[in-house]
Structure 1
Amino acid sequence: MSSHQRQTSSLTSTSSRDKAINNAIARPRPSSSVIVLSPTNEVLLLHRVKSSTSFASAHVFPGGNLDGFHDGDVPGEKDPGRHIDGLAYRLAAVRECFEETGILLAKRLGTLVKLPTEERDKMRKRVHANEVNFTEWLRSFGAEPDIAGLIPFTRFITPVNVPKRFTTQMYVYLLPELPAGISSEIILPVADGGVEHTAAQFAPASVWLDRARNGSVTLFTPQFYLLHLLAPILSTSSAPSPGKLGNDIAAQRKALLLFLARVPTADTEEGNQSPTARIPWGEKVICAYDMQVKRADGRVVLGLDNPGPELEDTGRGGDYEKVVIVDLRKKGRPENIDVRMRAVVLREHEDTTDIQFDENRGAKL
């Protein structure tokens, strides 16, 4: 067996660290997150406050923990629904989006609800403070949370070496083009006044990735990885001509829906050989882990195929084909982050290792 084969074989098995769930490993809390696309297919991200205990100062999708007061029965630790898309997760996604951005993913008579600005801002605070039940409040004026509009797009479970862990159901929501006469204010994000976020902004997925690469924003693995998947689909090859933009947007959305429903999910023949390629995007579970592949620039390589210790031996998994390479030396904050094909990264590592091996023996290269 070659060194590359040994490396690949060892990485496909669950590490010994993940084989036992013990008291030293924090139990992941159920949470939801939603990738909101504007009517022009830009992605909404929020800039978290510096004092946040999770993702401080980073840019994140709207989302947060499930709350039994608002979201109904929250699946317990031993409940099979703990790590599966369900009603509580969907209600939490809609509620958290409203609390954090003011965008209300709820419908009345088939269209998104428009609230007066003063009422919207007041109710955001009251819902956040658990003064009113979110769903009951919506029903009081004939509205319902648009849980059917949420498209599952992976689940991320926080790595085991982090003290505060989450099992986060990710969704995509496509904001519709507004009918004539409806103010765009209904879909304009407004930060929550510094409670959890200092800014809320739509921008193309490719722009967010560029900002992360040049260091102007911080994106953690889930956000960067998902934006990396979306960017090629939600970008146009050229500037649209008059009257063309609507067609481009519709084509992008059609391509996105086809992508999310695609099985197998891998892009290469080698990737299709992995069992994770048979797992739809909406059912993938990713618990990133250090593959122990040392890179010359100090970055680590994170595998994305492992579902984590909570779901060991369940047949679930994430994305074997791709890896994230990232510099985590600054107190775990991600820098110089990118997504690469796993096979390419491992071949690069093997080539580097072989060179170092020969150099140690005085070989002339």
Structure 2
Amino acid sequence: MTTQPDAPRLSATVLIVRDGANIPEVLMVKRHYQIDFAAGALVFPGGKANAEDASADWDPYTDGDFGPVQQDARIAAVREAYEESGLLLARPRAQRGTNQPLVGPDMAEKLDPFRSAVDRGEQSFLELIRDNDLVLALDSLVYFGHWITPDMMPKRFDTHFYVAPAPPDQIAAHDGRETTDSVWIGAQAALDAEEAGEAIIIFPTRMNLKKFATASSVADAVERFGRETVITVKPQQSETPEGEPCLIIPDVEGYGQTVELLSRVNV
């Protein structure tokens, strides 16, 4: 009897980026060692979508209209960024609209005490945004990647990746619950740290770091990735010619790799 794989859960991840001295930097957070997925790994803020992310009540409180799946995933990405980093990708409702400025540090600091309650489901994120007369800047997210966990994995996710310029002057800080550290780092520096054994980076994160490393600035990332078509990546289990178990991914532009040994896949 063949067992059907579990359906993947809708998830969202956001690469929040800023211009460093010579190269763009991305915000990465370190997962708590007691978390059941990617424990101790260096990741981008993100996680599973929840029921409220799909609520039609969000419509008056979002900038941008992206259809059911993209709308839900973008709301989840903004919520997860707020929960895990404190950065708030939102605008005052009275000053909404594409290319309008995001809220400053004063509003981010005002809402910071509610992060833990939103994360635990004790505080509605929608109500928090509504009560503070804000709208989520879903239009500030650039669609960057789409990965579906292989069928044989015990935990499966349908993950949408986004790139978003960091809100000016807001200060990122890890939440101390799901994440224990946060760092602004160049993509290649993160990859080098993993290669040296100084960081744990799971396969999809590593591949999207490689893709982001091709950008020369935040403006370049927004322009370049904004015009690219996102191709769904669902790794397939296989073997190398030498008989080593591996994952195969499509030969898609930007990742520069099609084979990953299972021995290197951290989950």
**Band the TM-score falls in, shorter-chain normalisation:** 0.7 to 0.9
Aligned partner of 1:97: which letter?
A
Please say if 1:106 is aligned against 2:60: no
Measured in 1, the distance between the counterparts of 2:227 and 2:240 equals 30
Measured in 2, the distance between the counterparts of 1:104 and 1:28 equals 27
Aligned partner of 2:187: which letter?
A
* Residue of structure 2 in register with 1:123 after alignment: 114
* Residue of structure 2 in register with 1:302 after alignment: 247
**Unpaired segments of 5 or more residues in structure 1?**
1-21, 74-82, 179-183, 235-251, 264-279, 307-317, 335-365
User: By how many angstroms is 1:59 displaced?
Assistant: 1.1
* Residue of structure 1 in register with 2:72 after alignment: 88
1:45 aligned to which of 25, 28, 34: 28
User: By how many angstroms is 1:154 displaced?
Assistant: 1.6
Measured in 2, the distance between the counterparts of 1:155 and 1:261 equals 14
Is the contact between residue 39 and residue 175 of structure 1 (CA under 8 Å) also seen in structure 2? Answer: no
* Residue of structure 1 in register with 2:59 after alignment: none
Aligned partner of 1:172: which letter?
V
Change (3 A) 1:146 1:262: closer
User: By how many angstroms is 1:91 displaced?
Assistant: 0.7
Q: Secondary structure at the match of 1:137?
A: helix
Change (3 A) 1:207 1:286: same
Measured in 1, the distance between the counterparts of 2:225 and 2:237 equals 27
* Residue of structure 1 in register with 2:61 after alignment: none
TM-score (norm 1): 0.61
Aligned partner of 2:172: which letter?
P
Spell out, residue by residue over 1:228-248, the C-alpha distance to the aligned partner (whole angstroms, 9 max, x if none). Answer: 1111323xxxxxxxxxxxxxx
**Unpaired segments of 5 or more residues in structure 2?**
57-66
* Residue of structure 1 in register with 2:126 after alignment: 135
Q: Secondary structure at the match of 1:168?
A: strand
Q: Secondary structure at the match of 1:112?
A: coil
Aligned partner of 2:101: which letter?
T
* Higher RCO (C-alpha 8 Å, min separation 6): 2
* Residue of structure 2 in register with 1:57 after alignment: 40
Measured in 2, the distance between the counterparts of 1:37 and 1:303 equals 29
Is the contact between residue 14 and residue 46 of structure 2 (CA under 8 Å) also seen in structure 1? Answer: yes
User: By how many angstroms is 1:24 displaced?
Assistant: 3.6
Change (3 A) 1:51 1:127: same
Measured in 1, the distance between the counterparts of 2:109 and 2:184 equals 22
Q: Secondary structure at the match of 1:26?
A: coil
Please give the residue correspondences for 1:1-365 in structure 2 after superposition, counting only pairs within 5 Å.
Answer: 23-40=3-20, 41-72=24-55, 85-108=69-92, 109=95, 110-113=100-103, 114-115=105-106, 119-175=110-166, 178=168, 184=169, 186=170, 188-193=171-176, 195-234=177-216, 252-262=217-227, 280-281=229-230, 284-295=231-242, 301-305=246-250, 322-329=256-263, 332-333=265-266
Measured in 2, the distance between the counterparts of 1:97 and 1:220 equals 19
User: By how many angstroms is 1:303 displaced?
Assistant: 2.0
Change (3 A) 1:289 1:97: same
Sequence identity (%):
26
TM-score (norm 2): 0.81
Measured in 1, the distance between the counterparts of 2:261 and 2:253 equals 21
Q: Considering only CA atoms, is the larger Rg found in Structure 1 or Structure 2?
A: 1
